Structure 1
């Protein structure tokens, strides 16, 4: 099933489909065929899709999952640090931002006591406070050194996140962060420089998680089998790639990729679908309904 919001996001820029690479004739040809099957008017102007797409998809999924999975919450633009499997990634940053005001206040109070006590000749208390101050200063210096040596790599944000409430706190009294059940990287079209982000994000999520790995996939409107294959035929960084208009793309591919010179890409497309590396948008909805 085609995503109901996909046609609204489609449009023409300088007479070319906004899914197509203006320097690639085949990209324009397959993009035009896809738009024809989708019924996109040739005078429909292209508009920026990034944020509008994420919001439209979140709204659509939230509505369609309201009955089969009312416990799920779908939101655009979410940080991994906001979920319980990845909350530990924020510990180092929180430690680095600790300004030590509580310790400084406690030492100031002790200074006031020692000042009053020293007037009475209480040298032992003054010495004890000085020892505490030296120990705190040493510990703070070691903490700063460790923080400086830590890696400062931040995980990529999720374009779209599907979450549910956490069942129970790991430690009694701790804040219950939501559990991430699925995350999506949205790529309207694909280029060589856009292929790496979803794979990098999938690798980060797998390596950094504490607990079950969320379902993670890319979602795209890219019409070319070559680029779909480069993204979907990975080594496990992505669970799969979902296409917003797979039925219409299948028809367009059968029409455009004709002849011996294009047979390889036609075969690539069929293998992507047969191996379920490339899936329909409706499968995304059905899968989330089971979580």
Structure 2
């Protein structure tokens, strides 16, 4: 593939190729769609479909036992001169303390038993801004310069969580990569429902490289990696970066929306039925 790209032998690339790619893609998409929120490394809970994921985490971080907050009141009750009133207040205080302690125990059990649903930060996000509300996540990209088996599993796991934890429309979720080996691309692109597709940063160069390698092999057109690669292409599971650009360009401009948050004109709706 490097030969197909006319990259000379020994030429050095970026020290951190993965970060360099993310930064370049972010900047390119921003120039195309400055009306959208395009950023690197954002948490899913920052978007409208996933903001509920931050609620329990914030609650568990801020909750504290309430029964202990009544302790200063015991000292005040002890200072009441009327024996009868002091006794009645002490009994009421004890009942309130018992109730709050029961509540504290129940909350502690809840905190201990609740799963901590979490998502890795998303490498690249395209959000549709909504004034006064969190943006809607339209495109989520996992960026991998190359693939290892564990990296591929991270992508699939993140996609599965984006599917199952959302409250609202599912964002377009894909992987963007420069990986050249068909068997590694197959791990992600061959039929997994966790992601929509894999975008290759230079698919034409990879197609040429696969064809060259296939012709040079004894198997020719029957070279197994080439057959796998062609299947991924024909099924639309492996796409070029230009297809990602088209996908982002399809997102409607935020200024073009005329109906917000239930402000539908029901009269116009039923007039058309």
Both proteins in one fold, TM over 0.5: yes
Q: What are the superposed Cα offsets for residues 214-264 of structure 1, whole Å, 9 maximum, x if unpaired? A: 100011101112211221013311100000001111111111122416622
Q: Is the 8 A contact 1:182 1:214 kept in 2?
A: yes
Q: Is the 8 A contact 2:67 2:104 kept in 1?
A: no
Partner of 1:59: 27
Unaligned runs of 5+ in 2: 252-273
The alignment status of 1:264 with 2:224, answered yes or no, reads: yes
1:281 corresponds, among 233, 241, 257, to: 241
Supply the distance in 2 between the matched residues of 1:113 and 1:177 (Cα, whole angstroms): 46
Unaligned runs of 5+ in 1: 1-33, 168-174
Supply the distance in 2 between the matched residues of 1:289 and 1:205 (Cα, whole angstroms): 22
1:252 corresponds, among 200, 209, 232, to: 209
Partner of 1:181: 138
- What is the CA distance between 1:106 and its match in structure 2? 6.0
Supply the distance in 2 between the matched residues of 1:231 and 1:219 (Cα, whole angstroms): 11
1:239 corresponds, among 185, 196, 201, to: 196
Q: What are the superposed Cα offsets for residues 17-57 of structure 1, whole Å, 9 maximum, x if unpaired? A: xxxxxxxxxxxxxxxxx122223243422322232322221
What is the TM-score when the length of structure 2 is the normalising length? Answer: 0.81
The alignment status of 1:219 with 2:176, answered yes or no, reads: yes
What is the TM-score when the length of structure 1 is the normalising length? Answer: 0.77
Supply the distance in 1 between the matched residues of 2:4 and 2:134 (Cα, whole angstroms): 43
Partner of 2:16: 48
The alignment status of 1:154 with 2:118, answered yes or no, reads: yes
- What is the CA distance between 1:110 and its match in structure 2? 4.1
Query: 2:150 aligns to what SS in structure 1?
Result: helix
Q: CA RMSD in A?
A: 2.2
Aligned length: 245
Q: Is the 8 A contact 2:67 2:101 kept in 1?
A: no
